[in-house]
């Protein structure tokens, strides 16, 4: 079995806009380590449904992090975001963590807002409990071809 090294790992699928549903899953699982990878992950659909994109990427992240605040055995959280979270100045240089957040489209803005949401939960809730919360930006690694974006 290809997943043998990952025994004990549980992956959950659901609707992040359902605050009570997210809270119920978190309460039932009581996770130790969380990798939050759920997202509306493409630029073009963000133009079609900007509110849905913001709901999934920002409010969904807030729902999950809020539900995790009271998990007693929580050890770490990683929130996966996107390089699109950063304001693109057109210089072609690689983004750094201290670059300005931003974006000229609903998807990019939602990923910047997701970074800010993770930061506020880190500072307000998880740092005082000594629970690390990190964000990690990806770049088209799982988002499909540029033509789809």
State pLDDT tens for residues 82-104: 888 778 888 887 887 788 888 78
Closest CA to 41 of 113, 144, 147: 144
CA dihedral 123, 109, 33, 70 (to 10 degrees): 50
Query: Taking the model in full, what pTM does it have?
Result: 0.85
- Residue 77 is given by DSSP the state E
Exposure of 23 by Cβ count < 10 A (0-12 exposed, 13-18 middle, 19+ buried)?
middle
Beta bridge partners of 134: 78
**pLDDT tens, position by position, 29-71:** 999 999 998 888 888 999 999 999 999 999 999 999 999 999 9
Percent of the chain with pLDDT over 70: 89
Please answer whether residues 80 and 136 qualify as being in contact, where contact means their C-beta atoms are separated by less than 8 angstroms.
Answer: yes
Exposure of 11 by Cβ count < 10 A (0-12 exposed, 13-18 middle, 19+ buried)?
exposed
């Amino acid at each position: 079995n290809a997943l043998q090294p990952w025994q004990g790992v549980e992956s959950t699928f659901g609707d992040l806009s359902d605050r009570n549903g997210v809270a119920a899953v978190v309460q039932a699982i009581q996770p130790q380590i969380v990798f939050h990878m759920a997202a509306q992950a493409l630029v073009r659909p963000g133009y079609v449904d900007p509110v849905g994109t913001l709901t999934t990427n920002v409010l969904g992240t807030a729902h999950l992090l809020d539900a995790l605040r009271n998990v007693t055995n929580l050890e770490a959280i990683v929130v996966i975001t996107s390089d699109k979270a950063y304001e693109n100045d057109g210089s072609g240089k690689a983004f750094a963590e201290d670059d300005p957040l931003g974006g000229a489209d609903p998807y990019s803005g939602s990923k910047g807002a997701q970074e800010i949401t993770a930061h506020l939960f880190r500072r307000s809730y998880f740092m005082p409990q000594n629970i690390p919360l990190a964000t990690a930006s990806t770049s088209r690694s799982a988002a499909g071809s540029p033509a789809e974006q």
